[in-house]
Amino acid sequence: MSGRGSVVGVVRRFWSARESGIVVALVLLVLVTTVDSPNFLSPQSVRDLLLGAAILVVLAVGQTVVVISRNIDLSVGSVLGLVAFATGKLLSSAPATPTAVAVLLGVGLGAVCGVVNGVLVAAARVPALVITLGTLYAFRGVDHSWARGEQINASDMPRSFLGLGTWTVLGVPVLAIIALTVVLAVGFYLRNYRSGRELYAIGSEPAAARLSGIPVGRRVFTSFVVCGASAGLAGVLYAARFGTVDATAGTGIELQVVAAAVVGGVAIFGGSGSAYGAALGALLLTTIGSSLAVLRINPFWQQAVVGGLILAAIGLDRLLAVRAANRLRGRSSHDA
């Protein structure tokens, strides 16, 4: 009985988790595609899928930290592009630079961009949507001004660095391992550190968070720095993955990043969600793109499906919020 009860408990916890729906949708999508094309789950196809999702996962996880605090960062695509070009420029002019140093410099440059966003949002208390829309164009402008139409090719960069985009460990791409490490690190931080848990409080009710003594400005600032650093890491990985880099790298990816986080159960209104859900959302969106190509479906439907998933996720968040409010109202009236 105890074993049966524990199994039932595990099942209940799974279905009550916000990420359960994404897992089910992902499994069903893979099954349908595999029935039509058995090679979809071949080792090479799985590796390609993981490679395609890795950069989006890193960006979505960083975005999650910001969205949980009831903010948004639309500049991540421009930060990725700026860091990717900076990394390519560094390694083409100084090919002896160790890969670890290139990664650290890229993360550092991304964090500096995050500092700019964080200062403007937290200190000036200007809506993040407006600020990051402005820095999206500002960072992209810096990138274009620096590049001046120049394109850096794979032949200009050392093979040791480009290996990041092709190496595998036990058949798993190194990029996917790096992305998983980021997911686990951010997930652990949000769940186990006080400052991480305070982001949820800020996203749920900023005014109440201030009254309870939470340093809202400092926490919001930190979330933007983390998001910028993750975009910087994604920029380095982009350079290693594709080899060819110019000033257009990462253009438009910010919308995919927000979509991955929202589809992954991160409430766009703040206060709920997880790094794990955002990673699953990124994997689901990547899988949708691959599946539609295998099933020979018009790429237009990929955008339609993603749009539908975003609307469904926002609707579900709103439904859960209303149910929670009604439950609390019912308890308070019962206690009275």
Could you report the per-residue pLDDT of 195-227, keeping only the tens digit for each? Answer: 999 999 999 888 888 888 999 999 999 999 999
CA–CA dist 125, 128 (Å, integer): 8
Residue 72 lies in a domain: yes
CA–CA dist 16, 248 (Å, integer): 41
DSSP 17: S
* Residue 304: predicted pLDDT: 79
* Residue 137: predicted pLDDT: 95
Residue 5 lies in a domain: no
How many domains in the chain?
Answer: 1
CATH number at residue 303: 1.10.3470
* Residue 15: predicted pLDDT: 47
* Residue 233: predicted pLDDT: 97
* Residue 329: predicted pLDDT: 60
Residue 36 lies in a domain: yes
Instruction: Evaluate whether 52 touches 290 at the Cβ level (below 8 Å).
Output: yes
153: containing domain: 20-320
* Residue 6: predicted pLDDT: 57
* Residue 149: predicted pLDDT: 85
Indicate the pTM of the whole model: 0.88
Residue 325 lies in a domain: no
* Residue 61: predicted pLDDT: 97
Alpha-helical regions (H) of 154-215: 159-162, 174-192, 194-204, 206-211
Residue 296 CB-density burial (10 A; 0-12 exposed, 13-18 middle, 19+ buried):
exposed
Residue 158 lies in a domain: yes
Per residue of the chain (336 residues), give pLDDT as tens: 455 555 555 455 544 556 677 888 888 888 888 988 888 888 888 899 999 999 999 999 999 999 999 999 999 999 999 999 999 999 999 999 999 999 999 999 999 999 999 999 987 778 899 999 999 999 999 999 998 888 998 888 999 899 888 888 988 999 999 999 999 999 999 999 999 999 999 998 888 888 889 999 999 999 999 999 999 999 999 999 998 899 999 898 998 999 899 888 888 888 888 999 999 999 988 988 888 888 887 777 767 777 777 777 667 666 665 665 566 566 555 555
Residue 1 lies in a domain: no
Bridge partners, residue 173, by sequence? 168
* Residue 21: predicted pLDDT: 75
Residue 26 CB-density burial (10 A; 0-12 exposed, 13-18 middle, 19+ buried):
middle
Three-class HEC string of 234-247 = HHHHHHHHHCCECC
Residue 329 lies in a domain: no
Residue 14 lies in a domain: no
* Residue 1: predicted pLDDT: 46
